[in-house]
Amino acid sequence: MDNIVPGSFQLMKKINTGLIIDVIRLKGPISRAEIAKILNLTPATVTNITAELINKNIIVESDLGQSTGGRKPILLKINADSYYILSVHIGSTRIRTAVLNMESKIIDKITVKTTPNTTYEEALNIIKDGIEELVKENEINKEKLLGIGIAAHGIVDAEKGKIVYSPNYGWKNKDIRTDIEKIFDVPAFLDRDVRAMALSESWYGAGKYVDQFISVKIGYGVGMSLINNKQQMRGYTDGFGEFGHTKVCFDGPLCSCGNRGCIETFSSEKAVERYAAELGLEKDCMAIHELSLKGDERAISAINRASEYLGLAVANLINTFNPQLIVLGGDLIDVNDYYLNGTIENAKKYALPDLFESCEIKRADTKGDAIIKGAAVLVLDNLFDNI
């Protein structure tokens, strides 16, 4: 992992570059003076960074704006089609590929379902076919491809670009960055899906203007990420965030890690499915969600049971880190209010009251697209490093 902490000037410049691009994306065409005002930056900082962005063709000067007395200001906008980014999410039940433009807009995406038997080679083919189709169908010029961002579930070595262990598929030590770069001949970047979700929230969602926040992803597993000044907390060996494997009892259900009683075996979507199956329902999270909307007591009870544990888990995070914001995301919690509200209620029950009161808990703003957008940020992040 990268142990070199960027100098504060370099880091500030990177953060400001990202924020300037985002303001132009959301509010453009916009003048340099307005950008400086919105972000509370000096005009010189905005002028320097926008000059470099114009130089790299990422933004362009647009029409003249309204004058407030003097010269009409020159407006800036994103050069949306200057480059494209490819994004890959290797989830536990599906693989998604997408193409995004420089406005971070998802132009097109493809989802392919997987099974626990899907081999690494099959997954590579799904990614290859998906990307080739996206590039062809959307008539993307390969010269304009900035890179490929890959977000994978399980344990990854971001610096080496390797999938260390993929619990749902059983893959071990797969050199995915090299394999993808060999196929497409553009730079590829890899990180965990939970971290991609946090990056997406940091640049585009709830965490945009917060210095530090925690993001929790609830899928078949439960993982967390802590973002501090747009930077991931990684731990000594890049293992930060394995919070789903903290134990809440000695003799609980067997976990994918080989141990028993981990919090994720009680609180994840997999736990919801197990509780629902005990009540005679099908093991299908989204079907359970649909039933809960129709008032099915068994479905609601299964979700509530998992949310009690998830609330306990969130309370432990609040008590440990005293965060200002916790963002929750995942297929079920993105859409199911029983899961979300139950989690918040139980976090309140189990956290220290003062710490709970000072922490906002909310859904990920970028919802279902969070990981795809976050994987694209892995590519942008590298671009920001070099501006």
In the bound state with Zn ion, the residue whose beta carbon lies nearer, of 189 and 243, is 243
# binding residues, Zn ion (CB under 5 A): 5
In the bound state with Zn ion, the residue whose beta carbon lies nearer, of 120 and 266, is 266
Task: Output the six-digit token pair for 159.
Answer: 């610096």
Would you give the binding string for Zn ion spanning residues 226-245, x where CB under 5 A is met?
-------------------x
C-beta contacts of 272-280 below 8 A and 24+ residues apart = 272/302, 272/303, 272/305, 272/306, 272/332, 272/339, 273/302, 275/301, 275/302, 275/305, 275/306, 276/302, 278/302
Distance (Å, whole) CA 272 – CA 30? 47
In the bound state with Zn ion, the residue whose beta carbon lies nearer, of 55 and 259, is 259
Distances in whole angstroms, Cα of residue 55 to Cα of each of 49, 64, 98, 145: 10, 19, 27, 18
Q: How far is the CB of 316 from Zn ion (least distance, A)?
A: 15
In the bound state with Zn ion, the residue whose beta carbon lies nearer, of 206 and 262, is 262
Q: Which residue has the tokens 């990614």?
A: 127
Q: Are 309 and 271 in contact (CB under 8 A)?
A: yes
Q: How far is the CB of 294 from Zn ion (least distance, A)?
A: 33
Q: How far is the CB of 340 from Zn ion (least distance, A)?
A: 23
Residue ranges of the alpha helices (H) in 174-263? Answer: 176-184, 193-204
In the bound state with Zn ion, the residue whose beta carbon lies nearer, of 258 and 280, is 258
Q: How far is the CB of 115 from Zn ion (least distance, A)?
A: 22
Under DSSP, is residue 55 helix (H, G, I), strand (E, B) or coil?
helix
Q: How far is the CB of 351 from Zn ion (least distance, A)?
A: 23
Would you give the binding string for Zn ion spanning residues 245-274, x where CB under 5 A is met?
x---------x-x-x--x------------
- Considering only residues 61 to 80 of the shown chain, the ones binding Zn ion according to CB under 5 A are none
Q: Are 335 and 369 in contact (CB under 8 A)?
A: no
Q: How far is the CB of 375 from Zn ion (least distance, A)?
A: 25
Give residues in contact with Zn ion (CB under 5 A): 245, 255, 257, 259, 262
